[in-house]
Structure 1
Amino acid sequence: MADMKESKGFQWTVLTLMGFCLALLIALHISAPTNTTSKAPKAVLKLPNEVAKLPASKENLKPAQMDKNPKLLSVNDLTTAFNKIGYHLKDVREGESSVPRLFLASLPHDLATLTQTEERKALFFKALLPLILKTNEEILAERARILRLRHRLNLGLDIIAQDQIWLKATFERYKVRGQKFDQLLQKVDIVPPSLALAQAAEESGWGTSRFVREGNALFGQWTFNQNDDGIVPAQRGDDQTHRIKAFDSIKDSLRAYVHNLNTHAAYKALRAKRAFMRTTRQPIQGSLLAMALDKYSERGEQYIISLKAIMDKNNLPLYDTVTLSDKMMLASAEPSI
């Protein structure tokens, strides 16, 4: 009997201890609940309010560095900066001033709040024009180097190892097999500002689309690569797997867009038109190149009509001949954008 009493006493002690532990766990869960929210996949970008505003002089900062300056770029910030340096589209179009070397990392987060259509469009063009000209400047520098190296090889002269490595990498990057210089030069060439501005406006809703705000995606480029950062379109079908490719900056988006036009098989006709203009010493006109973009959008010919309407209505061909300022902006004088 004594053994049974001791056994029951032990059982009651264990049950009491277990009950106390259970009550303690419940209390802890209530005071500090476990996070059961599914984590987004690695490819999904941070929300807009987590994207930082970068100074123009630090356009190449990495995302980890961006977190140190979390303030977003606003319309007022950008307007103030442009006015401070006297950047006006009318002066640029009329040849009275060049385009400042002011390179933005992102568009204003509140661009859609501008109720005046012309004001919003002007700010959009002013923000992108320096970046487009800078991208073309870089491409022309590449093109000049290719021409110089081809000339040396044609003369039977050697080229240094550094140039050999760079040339091999350039052929690979532009998807040209063998040392076919004519084919490479057809790909390494500019995209006229009028065309880039029109497509950016059409694809991004004049800089107000969700893809621009969340991922600096100006041109709506698709990606099927799971290693790319990307945004799932709201209207994507259940049987589709593509995402809109996202970028650390609008400059990266612009570079990817130009490289796409310069390498994708769908735009071979555009490159042929451009090469003809180049060899016949004609100006490279965006309105003519747009005629070869029927494969850029599912809208086909209607897409081309939309682009040409944007170009005509906004006098975009006038920007095909403008240039960047020779003056480099001093870091101390640059507005914080």
Structure 2
Amino acid sequence: MLRFFVNNIDLDMAEVHQSKGFQYGVLSLLGIGFLTVCLSQFFNPVNTESMAPQSVLPLPKSKTVSKAGIDALEGSTDLVGKGRFSASDLDSRFKQIGYDLDPVLEGDVEVPRVFVRYLPYDLSRMTETEERKSIFFRTLLPLVLKVNEEIVENRKRVWRLRHRQTMGMVLQAKDRVWLDAIFARYKVKGRSFDRLLDKMDVVPASLALAQAAEESGWGTSRFAREGNALFGQWTFNPDDDGIVPTGRGEGKTHRIRSFDDLAGSLRAYVRNLNTHPAYAKLRGMRKQMRQNHEDFSGYKLALTLDKYSERGEEYITSIHAIMDANQLQRFDGATLDDTTIELPTSKPLI
């Protein structure tokens, strides 16, 4: 190899005549360099496989969880699928961040932003009724408040766009597209802002929690466990995900609509109350409360839900009983906390 390398060097390149001693010195240096490269490859070969870059920053001792969700907890799986957690796992995490219902009921603290995707897989196995109810309410309350928070933000945007349009200002294309989608979502014809704002409004936490408890058997129903369906909403749309009820009558085609997570179920429930003709009385009472600058009362709004169930007035009585027994009316003034929550990273939380 070295002889081949030497024989291919043009000693008279560019017709520059140099001394033979200088030429041999250059060749010697080239030969030494070539041998050095060969030996280094032999004793320390190059790794031709790709390697992941190493971290150049130390890992933090704690993890900040703000406006996030507890989607999965390590070591908590069930027969339905991985990524779900047990009631004891979730309860211990709630205790770590000091999340308890009593201070919230007293109005002393705000609700932490912990948005859980699924109910615990073993909720129905809990023998202590009060503990099961506590897990159920602590899981759903932040989600209810989050859905209402989204509606409030959308209302603010509608008011801003309405004002701009009233002032004769041209709306941006993205705002026009957004408005078209909002009018369609809330089934408002004629682009009436008044009708849209009557429909686009919040549902008090007490009402949402009480109905979720009633409709899902406190989160233990098959539909809640398998499809995150908290409110037993029917669907006839073949494009919707759904669960066929056991014992569905011959010739019936309805299914119980299922959702990817609990938040999806809550959003569908609120939209149902805000758009279905059967709940026009609820929207009318809520509008009156807003006009009178009253705090929204889930207890009063429940009086309008005689068409929500075939049980009629009996259903309303059941909803009121759940509210009374668990002091749910006091959650109507609850708000989400914007502060950061510090949690240890011994187990992944998000």
> Offset of 1:247 from its aligned partner?
0.5
Q: Residue 268 and residue 335 in structure 1: after superposition, are their counterparts in 2 closer, same or farther (change >3 A)?
A: farther
- Structure 1 CA distance for aligned equivalents of residues 236 and 112 of structure 2: 37
Mapping 1:156-195, distance limit 5 Å: 156-195=168-207
Retained in 2: the 8 A contact 1:294–1:304?
yes
> Offset of 1:210 from its aligned partner?
0.5
Q: Which amino acid aligns with 1:108?
A: P
Mapping 1:19-98, distance limit 5 Å: 57=69, 70-98=82-110
Could you say which residue in structure 1 is the equivalent of 2:331?
A: 319
Identity of aligned residues (%): 57
- Structure 2 CA distance for aligned equivalents of residues 229 and 252 of structure 1: 12
- Structure 1 CA distance for aligned equivalents of residues 173 and 101 of structure 2: 45
Residue of 116, 119, 143 corresponding to 1:107: 119
> Offset of 1:197 from its aligned partner?
0.1
| TM-score for the superposition, normalised by structure 1 | 0.78
Tell me, yes or no, if structure 1 residue 265 matches structure 2 residue 299.
no
> Offset of 1:235 from its aligned partner?
2.9
Q: Which amino acid aligns with 2:177?
A: I
RMSD value, Cα: 2.0
Say which SS state the counterpart of residue 251 (structure 2) adopts: coil
> Offset of 1:215 from its aligned partner?
0.5
Q: Could you give the per-residue CA deviations for residues 252-301 of structure 1, whole angstroms, max 9, x where no partner exists?
A: 00100001111111111111111111111011110111111111111111
- Structure 1 CA distance for aligned equivalents of residues 277 and 307 of structure 2: 10
> Offset of 1:157 from its aligned partner?
2.0
Tell me, yes or no, if structure 1 residue 289 matches structure 2 residue 301.
yes
Q: Residue 188 and residue 240 in structure 1: after superposition, are their counterparts in 2 closer, same or farther (change >3 A)?
A: same
Tell me, yes or no, if structure 1 residue 236 matches structure 2 residue 245.
no
Tell me, yes or no, if structure 1 residue 124 matches structure 2 residue 136.
yes
Could you say which residue in structure 2 is the equivalent of 1:336?
A: 349
Retained in 2: the 8 A contact 1:194–1:286?
yes
Q: Which amino acid aligns with 2:85?
A: L
> Offset of 1:116 from its aligned partner?
1.1
Residue of 260, 263, 271 corresponding to 1:248: 260
In structure 1, stretches of 5+ residues that fail to align are 1-55, 61-68
Retained in 1: the 8 A contact 2:240–2:257?
yes
Q: Which amino acid aligns with 2:281?
A: A
| TM-score for the superposition, normalised by structure 2 | 0.75
Residue of 191, 194, 209 corresponding to 2:221: 209
Q: Residue 268 and residue 59 in structure 1: after superposition, are their counterparts in 2 closer, same or farther (change >3 A)?
A: farther
Q: Residue 59 and residue 265 in structure 1: after superposition, are their counterparts in 2 closer, same or farther (change >3 A)?
A: farther
Q: Residue 90 and residue 245 in structure 1: after superposition, are their counterparts in 2 closer, same or farther (change >3 A)?
A: same
> Offset of 1:158 from its aligned partner?
2.1
Tell me, yes or no, if structure 1 residue 219 matches structure 2 residue 226.
no
- Structure 2 CA distance for aligned equivalents of residues 91 and 208 of structure 1: 26
Say which SS state the counterpart of residue 244 (structure 1) adopts: strand
Say which SS state the counterpart of residue 256 (structure 2) adopts: strand
- Structure 1 CA distance for aligned equivalents of residues 84 and 299 of structure 2: 35
Retained in 1: the 8 A contact 2:90–2:120?
yes
- Structure 2 CA distance for aligned equivalents of residues 276 and 129 of structure 1: 25
Q: Residue 138 and residue 330 in structure 1: after superposition, are their counterparts in 2 closer, same or farther (change >3 A)?
A: farther
In structure 2, stretches of 5+ residues that fail to align are 1-67, 73-80
Q: Residue 189 and residue 103 in structure 1: after superposition, are their counterparts in 2 closer, same or farther (change >3 A)?
A: same
Say which SS state the counterpart of residue 69 (structure 2) adopts: helix
> Offset of 1:239 from its aligned partner?
2.8
Q: Could you give the per-residue CA deviations for residues 11-37 of structure 1, whole angstroms, max 9, x where no partner exists?
A: xxxxxxxxxxxxxxxxxxxxxxxxxxx
> Offset of 1:155 from its aligned partner?
1.9
- Structure 2 CA distance for aligned equivalents of residues 118 and 58 of structure 1: 23
